[in-house]
Structure 1
């Protein structure tokens, strides 16, 4: 039995689709934890066991982890809480439930940066790495999917790209770093969940096929969208003021700022790209299949 948390989210929906295709042949049953079962895809109806509720709820976890062999763990960011409460506070009930039900394997969504000098001052990333430590102490074998920034973050910029030909971030325009498509993260998770020959704890970087700078992204978007797109660097202080103005938790906002600063200082640059850490989706492909329809709609 494989349990999937956040099955309707960006990563979880891709993972659920993959496992619906491959789990039956592997003799695996699927269970999902979901707040609103109506949001599950039609293909999942009648084919997965559904536990309704939040995976922060100990009672929900007790039902969901009963008989589970493996768990996919993803914490939904909550900007009303501190970074610690968002990741570690949310995860603490799961640690107890994993131990109580003797779940053998857990795959979690985390971030790059462990072992770097920036890891302890990288805001939301630091909080995510602390979550990994909790899960690694649960008694289950644990693999943290260590991810850089997602291509999908650019979907938040669709209006600006469409109306102004501009996207923004806070890093240097020539700062190259890995980026990844969420579908590739889901593929890495599926492989680990289906082949549980691994033991112990560790990280699995998912790095995409190449490092790209904001200027590289602008050039590729210009080519793929058929219209000029340029990058504008946003000051960190401006980002902080904007986010606080939205009413977000100030500690969470500081976590975003610290993460952005660490990425600009090279947080994501330390992981080696190897055949095992290179995921296949190129930014050009993602632009053509995902960004272009969203911008032009």
Structure 2
């Protein structure tokens, strides 16, 4: 039995589909079972509730062989430590109590570098992984740079202003990855019962791109000029708090992007194993372009 947390998230939905296609028995932990597609609910077990709740995750881990762990977004939380580390503590106890054999979690790049110190959300995400590894369970962290999917948040600006906005330096080339490839990597790890110990598997996409390079590809795919505009960290923080994010979480976002500008995502060496297949152009054609025309 494989337990999937956050099954309605962008990565979680794709992971569930992938594992069901391979015939894997699944138990999904979700706050709201009605958000699961009816055809999916008929093929899985469901544990309703938050996977940060000790009683919920305890039920979910009973008889489980493997767990996919994804800390949910919580912009209103008092701190990133709360979102990643405190949220995960009950699960670590459940992993040990029920003899879960393998855990796969999604995290950020930066392991083993000083760039990850004081890097906001990244620092806390890596601390979450340390907590899971310390439980003694066999563990793999799927470490990722920025997601291509994040650009979907900019669809309105792309359509209305012909631009997208981030805090990343315009000409800084860095890896960017498709969530479908993250899900595929996680699926392979969850189905493979031969690995042990703790470690990291990086997903770096097939190429490094700067925001300027991304704008060029988006322009070519959409058939109209799209520009990149860099915004300063304080402006990003003000925007996030204006949307209801706590001051601490907004600062965590700013600190993360400042670390990325210092080369956080470039510290991981690219290898054949860490190079995932979906190109940014392919993602733009298959995902971004339809989103901008709906």
Q: Check whether TM > 0.5.
A: yes
Pair 1:9-2:9 in alignment: yes
Instruction: Tell me which residue corresponds to 1:117.
Output: 114
Find the aligned partners of 2:35 and 2:54 in 1 and give their Cα distance. 22
Instruction: Tell me which residue corresponds to 2:139.
Output: 142
CA deviation profile, 1:36-78 (whole Å, cap 9, x unmatched): 1121123323211111111011111111000000000000121
Q: Which of 186, 189, 212 is the matching residue for 1:189?
A: 186
Deviates more, 1:235-244 or 1:206-215: 235-244
Deviates more, 1:199-208 or 1:39-48: 39-48
Aligned length: 293
Instruction: Tell me which residue corresponds to 2:75.
Output: 79
**In structure 2, do the counterparts of structure 1 residues 164 and 193 end up closer, same or farther at CA, with 3 Å as the change threshold?**
same
**TM-score, with normalisation over the residues of structure 2?**
0.98
**TM-score, with normalisation over the residues of structure 1?**
0.97
Instruction: Tell me which residue corresponds to 1:47.
Output: 43
The alpha-carbon deviation at position 171 of structure 1 amounts to: 1.2
Gaps of 5+ in 2: none
The alpha-carbon deviation at position 138 of structure 1 amounts to: 1.5
Instruction: Tell me which residue corresponds to 1:18.
Output: 18
> Secondary structure of the equivalent of 2:289?
helix
CA deviation profile, 1:244-273 (whole Å, cap 9, x unmatched): 233321111111110010001100001111
Instruction: Tell me which residue corresponds to 1:264.
Output: 261
> Secondary structure of the equivalent of 2:4?
strand
Find the aligned partners of 1:180 and 1:108 in 2 and give their Cα distance. 16
Find the aligned partners of 1:243 and 1:45 in 2 and give their Cα distance. 35
Find the aligned partners of 1:37 and 1:239 in 2 and give their Cα distance. 34
CA deviation profile, 1:262-285 (whole Å, cap 9, x unmatched): 001100001111111111000011
CA deviation profile, 1:165-192 (whole Å, cap 9, x unmatched): 1001111100000000111000000000
CA contact (8 A) 1:123 1:254 kept: yes
Aligned CA-pair RMSD: 0.9
Pair 1:223-2:220 in alignment: yes
> Secondary structure of the equivalent of 2:187?
helix
Displacement over 6 Å in runs of 4+: none
Find the aligned partners of 1:54 and 1:239 in 2 and give their Cα distance. 29
Instruction: Tell me which residue corresponds to 2:275.
Output: 278
The alpha-carbon deviation at position 201 of structure 1 amounts to: 0.4
Find the aligned partners of 1:193 and 1:41 in 2 and give their Cα distance. 22
> Secondary structure of the equivalent of 2:114?
coil
